[in-house]
Structure formats: C-alpha cells, structure tokens
Structure 1
Amino acid sequence: MVNIRDLDPSASPLDYYGSELRRLREAAGLKQAQLGDIIFCAASLVGQIETARKVPTRDFSERVDAALNTGGVFSRLVGLVLRSQLPAWFQAYAEMEAKAAYISTFQAQLIYGLLQTEGYARAVLGVRHERGLDAQVAARMERQRILEREQPPLMWVVLSEATLHQEVGGREVMREQLTHLLGLREREWVRVQILPFEAGAHAGLPGTFTLLRFEDDPDIVYTEDFVQGHMTANPAALREGSLRYDHLQAAALSVEKSAELIARVMEERYGHHPEPDGRAVA
C-alpha cells in the first residue's frame, strides 16, 4: 500500500495533485469520506487520487474546487496531470499542437485524435491492453479542449475513405464517430475532406502526417511510426509535407461531397440514416 507521506510532490504532476488534494482537504477539516459525500464519489476514490494511484478527471477536479473553495486550483492542475499520462515521446508534440494556429493533417488509417469520440478513442487505445486505459482516454479527451478555446486553431483534416470503413469499437461506436464528423460542419474553424478510394495512387501513400503552423514559431511537420513520433522544422521536410498536403486536398472530395460520403457509409455499413448535416431521418 502506497503511503501518502512517502510521496514526493515533485515527482510528477499526479503526485503533486494528490498531495495538494490531501493538504487542502485536511485544511478544510474534512475526512476522505466527508469530501466524497460532498462531491458524490466514494471515499476510496479520494484516497486513490491522494496516493497517486488513480488519475483524476476534469469533472472530479471541478467538483473538488467547488467543495473546497480553492479558486480553481485543481481545474488548472488537472490539465498538467492528464498531459503527463500521454506517452512520454508524444508529450512534446501535444504541447506544440496546443500552441498551433493552424493544423493540417492527413490520416490514412484512423480518425485524427482531436476529432475522436470517447468511445472510438477507448477502442483505439485499448487494442493491446487495458492497463491505465481510463487515464489514456481522459488524456486524449483533454487534448481536444483546444477546440473549445475562444480562439481555437484552424484545422483542416483529410481522411482516407478507409478510416470510415475500418470498424473500430463496433457499429455503435462508428455511428457515433461518423455522426460527430458530420456535426463538425457547424464549426467554421474545422473542415473535413475525404480522400476517396477512387483517387487511386496519391501523395499520402507513404503514411499519415501533420503540419503545424504557428504565429511566432517555426512551422513543424510531424510523422509517427509504431514506436514513436518525429517532429522537424527542417525546411526541406516542410516543403515536401506542404506539397504532399496540397496534392491530397486537390484529390479529396469537397467538404460538401465528403459529408455526403460519410452519411452514405453510415447508412450502408452501420445501419444509420443521417442527413449530410448530421440530422437523423426515419
């Protein structure tokens, strides 16, 4: 059993969060069970988070802030905690992604992480094992908070048609995911195009890649293999990535035609009948 007194608050964001939760709970004169009653969770959950054995969610953090009148301490800390749950090699990219003014990406096999539903993300991240899966899913959902900012990044996504047909997590998960893609048309700063099978050989055959553009920092191209990700600001790589992306956009369906294809795949493969704008019909 991990003893909270043996935890080093500087060891990780999770350890610091746990130590602060215990400190402020005790300062408020509350036992774990009493705090649990106030925020509608088990005392054991409070204890597991205080001992850094469980990762807190944003909802938990907001409820603790309200209960202990912290002024938003845990709502601010939880972002660091969740980001620390991302693979170590991915954390640097996530930080750059959060700073980007413009994101353009081509995805050959999977829906882009910023556009994934929770069910889809859970299925993707749980392929090999489920150890720490809740924390991994929470971290991926936390990444998506950049799309809710007052000034979110402009994002243009080209998806291979294969991403629509690859059944990830089952039919219900795919219906939810494709409905989400259709609903993105309401966000003027997000555009999704589908590269159809009919395009044949195309500039994205070497694989998935992402271009990040910034207001003040050098642009970056990001690629990934099954071991880790790779970021570079090399001008030659950026030129090649930008050229390939331009070709992919040109070969892809228009945003409107892409929505029609997404709706058709939903109907034909997953037994749903939506309009291109995402509204279901009988």
Structure 2
Amino acid sequence: MEHEDDFAFIRDQLRRQRALRGMPQDEFGKRANYSASTVSAAETGTRAIDMPYAKRADEILETGGLFVRLLKKAQRFSEPSWWERWLDAERAAKQLRNYHPSLIPGLFQTENYARAVLRLELTRPEVELEKLVASRLERQEILTRDQPPLLIAVIEESALRVRDAIMAEQVRHLLRMAELPYVQLHLIPADAGLHVGLNGHLSLARSADGCWVGSMENQIVDSIVDDEESIATLLTRWEGVRGAALPENLSRVLLKKIESQHRPQ
C-alpha cells in the first residue's frame, strides 16, 4: 500500500542519516535511550516508529525536525479518507463534543488504554497496532497547543468500572484532564437507564466560522457528515446524551469515587 511506502521511506532515511554520521545502532540507541535491538527493529520495520522515537532521531541526527514531519505525513495518509476528513475538522475545531457508549474518548485515552482497545481487533499485526496507537496519541496534541478547543465529553460510568491497572491509570488521567479550563467532563451514572446515546458513538466539531462536522457510528450511518439535516439530528441526540449526564461538579465527585475504588485495598 502507498502509505506503507511512506513508513519504509522513513526507515531508509533513518538508516541513511545514521550512517552518514558514522553512528552504529548501539551508539544511536545509547544516546536515544533505546536498546540496539529496538533501533534495529525500528529500522527494519518490526517495530513501529512513534513520535518520541522520531523526535529523538531529529535531536541526535540534527535533522531539523525532518523525521517528525515525515512521520506526521505518513500517519495522516495511513488513515482512511473518510476518517481523514474528521481529523481535519478536529484539528481546526474551536469546540468538540464527544460521546461513546462503552469507551473513553480517543482524545482522553492513555497510551496503555489505547493499545488495549486497539488490540481488541485480534487479527491486527503488532506493527500496525503500534502505528495506530502513535496516531491516536498524536491527535491529542491539539489539547496542548496555545489555543486548544473547548472539549465537552460525556462518558458512561460503566466504561470506567473495569478493575485493572490500565483502567486505574486511565481514571487518574481523566481526573487530571477534568481540571483543565478548556475541558468539560460529564459522567452518565450507571443507574441512568436507557437514553438515546446508547444507539452509538457521536462526535461533533464546530469550526471558528460556526460550521459543524459530525462523526457518526451507528447513529445514522458510519460516516462523516456536514449536511444540515444530519447535523441537526446529531445535535438533538447530543442534547439527549448531555441531559442524561451529571453536571461537572457531580461528575468530578463520582470520578473521584471511582478512582478511589481502583486503588489497591
């Protein structure tokens, strides 16, 4: 596939730039805090090159951000075309709204949680899995830029009740995110009963000019929409979801209670 050629090009350039500096794999690895076997795996394609690796390569090889730019391009074009449209809307958004009936929103996911969710596809090769994890974490950079979007997320309490170390870490991360001034986090309590959101995930992005783009999975069809009728449907369903959720202060109380229950007894 074409995007696989992009990743192969990055690997070739890593080997070339390292060789031009007369730097063996073990020396590069030592300076980058990676083992020689990890460096070898990255350069042969048996380990995915993620953003931290690309950044360290740029620093050590003094390539002026080359590998970060190449990796961003490769990750972008490795996404399905319909999903790329959503990513464009997400990057340009002034406001984001997100709900999923069973998962934590991607912009809030820790690396370990993202990996566990993406691994649910049992036929997915490990290298592909790591590329997807890296891409998901890359999306979260919009929350650390100078002017991040207002992010309003609704999460089901039941999605936080898995008792393992990954979820404990994830809940702690959600508490930190909930403290940010541009994040509004709402929980739907487990006893809320049936509501319209249980039909499926929905996301909405509002641009600076007031235009909306929606991502729908099992709400109407699996697609990205911006037509007036579909957006109106999603906004109505969002209001139903938001209406079933607790206000911010009570959501934070419940989240802290859940976090305490994840601690070792």
Q: Which category of TM-score, normalised to the shorter sequence, fits these structures?
A: 0.7 to 0.9
Q: Which deviations, in whole Å up to 9, do the C-alpha atoms of 1:231-256 show, x marking residues without a partner?
A: 01110111111122123223321101
What is the letter of the counterpart of residue 244 of structure 2?
A
Q: How many residues align?
A: 260
Q: Name the SS of the counterpart of 2:49 in structure 1.
A: coil
Q: Which has the larger radius of gyration?
A: 1
Partner of 2:155: 159
Counterparts of residues 1-282 of structure 1 (less than 5 Å): 12-84=5-77, 86=79, 90-129=83-122, 131-132=125-126, 133-165=129-161, 167=162, 170-216=163-209, 218-225=211-218, 229-268=222-261, 270-271=262-263
Contact 1:117 1:177 in 2 (8 A): yes
Unaligned runs of 5+ in 1: 1-7, 274-282
Q: Which deviations, in whole Å up to 9, do the C-alpha atoms of 1:158-200 show, x marking residues without a partner?
A: 11222223x1xx4222221111111112211111101224433
Contact 1:86 1:136 in 2 (8 A): no
Task: Provide the rounded CA distance (Å) in 2 between the counterparts of 1:49 and 1:261.
Answer: 42
Give % identity: 31
Unaligned runs of 5+ in 2: none
- Alpha carbons of 1:217 and 1:31: their partners in 2 closer, same or farther (altered >3 Å)? farther
Relative to its length, the structure with more helix (as a share) is 2
Q: Which one is further off, 147-156 or 36-45?
A: 36-45
Instruction: Give how far 1:11 is off.
Output: 5.8
Q: Name the SS of the counterpart of 2:169 in structure 1.
A: helix
- Alpha carbons of 1:253 and 1:272: their partners in 2 closer, same or farther (altered >3 Å)? farther
Q: Name the SS of the counterpart of 2:198 in structure 1.
A: coil
- Alpha carbons of 1:147 and 1:72: their partners in 2 closer, same or farther (altered >3 Å)? same
Task: Provide the rounded CA distance (Å) in 1 between the counterparts of 2:2 and 2:18.
Answer: 16
- TM-score (norm. length: structure 1): 0.80
What is the letter of the counterpart of residue 259 of structure 1?
R
- TM-score (norm. length: structure 2): 0.85
Task: Provide the rounded CA distance (Å) in 2 between the counterparts of 1:197 and 1:36.
Answer: 48
Task: Provide the rounded CA distance (Å) in 1 between the counterparts of 2:29 and 2:51.
Answer: 16
Q: Which deviations, in whole Å up to 9, do the C-alpha atoms of 1:131-170 show, x marking residues without a partner?
A: 22333222221221111111111100011222223x1xx4
